[in-house]
Amino acid sequence: MIKNFIGKLIDKATGSGSSNGRKRFGKRAEIGPDGHGINPALVDERAANVVRTLKEAGYEAYIVGGAVRDLLLGLKPKDFDVATNATPEQVKGLFRRAFIIGRRFRIVHVVYGRGREHEVIEVSTFRAYMDNAAAEAVFGNERTAKGQLAGMKHAVDASGRVLRDNVWGSQEEDAARRDFSVNAMYYDPETRVVVDYHHGLQDAQKKLLRMIGDPATRYREDPVRIIRAVRFGAKLAGLGFRLEPKTARPLVEAKALLADIPQSRLFDEMIKLLQTGHAVASVEQLRALGLARGIYPLLDLVVERADQPFVKAALLDTDRRVGEGKPVAPSFLLASVLWQDVREGWNARLARGEHPFPALQDAIDEVFDARVGDVSGRGKLGADMREIWMMQPRFEKRSGNTPFSLAEQPRFRAGFDFLRLRADVGEIGEELADWWQAFSQADEGERESLVRELRAEQQRARKQQPRVHRVPKGSQDASKSIAETPESTATGNEFDAESPAPAKKRRRRRRKPSGGGGAPSAPAPGGDA
């Protein structure tokens, strides 16, 4: 007993996970179909084809990670990853459309199909277990230490964060390098065997999210695991999963490590957090774990505004679309979160008398500089957000050719969905959104009819408005004097329909002077006085 206790202390201090003959990497367990109950029909055929191709070439290959976890839970995975002992170059050589990506963590993307229907199977090589104390030390991060990192396979910075991880090893080593036990299982779709080293199947049955190894150390190795813990916790909360207390405890303290992570990587992780179909649950997880602030500025803003009607509606709509298998774009969700800032800046400029469209453009530029910066505001995502916002005042004009040209815009659907959301929360009238919905679903003839009907309706409305007689500015005093005369009516309106019209005054004709000219003749010289 004392030996076991001392062994545990040594394991905790060294992070080795082994003592007294125990295997550092856990004990390999092979579970057959009767033990795991995975439905083969849920396995993606293209992922199975990647595994089969690698095995036929003489390599080991398994479906791995979150896909195995979801299969065990009876869910159809959205993405499939494959792990193999083949190197990235060897994998690439076996497939017609395969691309090696990444520097920190080199993997291969095997691509099937084209356009929107394409699918990517991510293939990674088994990673070796490496003691960070033996790794090459680098000062700085990925951006500041590119020169030092060139040619390195395993490197860490001063905090212990892994900057390079491209040393190949065995499957048992690879399993020890993964984060959560439920994500460290391997499935062979041909033999239908699950390989488990860290009691992942038991944790899945217990609905427990447990970090492999010492959680604090694992967060230092890769601080992005903090966000992954939130994401998995949110994704699986609906199934009754919970974070192991030991796994959750270091999260708040480890949050400071995210300051050294490149902003682009944090942005990508934020998008994953909000667009996996569990955005609302992710916000709840962040608040519950004490991570509502300090991960990433834009994410902080999402959490801050998540209870506002417009932002909450956007989060719920994103979750709904993901659940229905419909595509979602980060531009729409971020445009919804930042709309408050854009609208406030726009209204302030309109109050100063600026023209609506330039005022809106300036407000958008201000928001990008203040909230988005250089991470994604200069690329396609930023362009899509701008287009969604700039469409909103154009929806107000429904005459002439404007509706037809607006409906042909590439981002019309996103712009209309944004308009619809504004109507749903009462920011604009339902009538406007209903008209555009009918217009978007109509054919060419029906669209022309909708425009004609709207024009006729607007004309009838103008005719029903009371006519206002404007008095010329120069005759205001004269009108006032007339109204004040005794002859005026009791109402002061001399044009009252029930009052008799005043009699016309007869103008007296002036007699012309004698003589042929227009001027009077002078007296003749010498004439009588």
DSSP symbol at 501 = P
Q: Token pair for residue 103?
A: 């520097």
Give the 3-state secondary structure of 409-467.
CCCHHHHHHHHHHHHHCCCCCHHHHHHHHHHHHCCHHHHHHHHHHHHHHHHHHHHHCCC
Give the per-residue pLDDT at 488.
36
Give the per-residue pLDDT at 280.
96
pLDDT band, residue 225 (cuts 50/70/90): very high
Domains of the chain: 23-130+167-206 (3.30.460.10), 211-306 (1.10.3090.10), 330-461 (1.10.3090.10)
Catalytically active residues are 79, 81, 179
Run of H or E including 7: helix 2-14
pLDDT tens-digit profile of 457-493? 888 888 777 766 565 555 555 444 434 433 333 333 3
pLDDT tens-digit profile of 259-298? 888 888 899 999 999 998 999 999 999 999 999 999 999 9
pLDDT tens-digit profile of 179-200? 999 999 999 999 999 999 999 9
Burial class of 58 by CB neighbour count within 10 A (0 to 12, 13 to 18, 19+): exposed
User: Is pTM beyond 0.85 here?
Assistant: no
Pairing state between β 242-243 and 208-209: parallel
pLDDT tens-digit profile of 382-435? 899 999 999 999 999 998 899 999 999 999 999 999 999 999 999 999 999 999
pLDDT tens-digit profile of 198-220? 999 999 999 999 999 999 999 99
Q: Token pair for residue 42?
A: 């849920």
Q: DSSP letters along 103-159, please?
A: SSS-EEEEEES-GGG-EEEEEEEPBPP--GGGSEE-SS-TTTTHHHHTT-SEEE-TT
Side chain identity at residue 205, one-letter code: Q
Give the per-residue pLDDT at 138.
54
Phi, psi for 410 (deg, rounded to 5):
-60, -35
Q: DSSP letters along 280-297, please?
A: HHHHHHHHHTT-SSSS-H
Distance (Å, whole) CA 12 – CA 408: 63
Q: DSSP letters along 28-49, please?
A: -EEE-HHHH---GGGS-HHHHH
Tokens 């009819």 — which residue? 449
Side chain identity at residue 238, one-letter code: G
Distance (Å, whole) CA 506 – CA 30: 120
Side chain identity at residue 45, one-letter code: E
